Amino acid sequence: MSSVTRFEIVLLLIAMIVVLEMLAQRLQRPRAAALIVGGIGLAMIPGTPNIELDPDLVMVLFLPPLLMASAWFTAWRDFRADIRIIMQLAVGAVVFLRRWSSEWWRTWCNRPSHGEPASLSAR
């Protein structure tokens, strides 16, 4: 795929995002839901080209504006009312992932490698 074609596809996607944002606002629906439905609809179109983005580009270019917009438009009264459940979910996720990753790491380190018994490869 040429760079011009890739650029045109990205412009088309940006235009689609703008239209979906306006549609969500007009229908008084969450913007994220409109983008998800639009993405699913786009994925269902046969022959749609695969677009691969560099993960670093996404982290630098797309994520900060999304986080800033979410922080700017947060309903702080609702946030304070729900802070208990938010913290429970956040701490629960950290504890779960910590335990899961430590079990995975322990299993991975104790696996036999190159035909050696597990007791010899764990040294």
**Total-model pTM:** 0.49
Token match 């080209």: residue?
A: 49
Residue type present at position 48 = T
Phi-psi region of 75 (alpha: psi -120 to 50; beta: other; left: phi over 0): beta
**Tens-digit pLDDT profile for residues 57-91:** 878 887 888 788 888 888 899 999 999 999 999 99
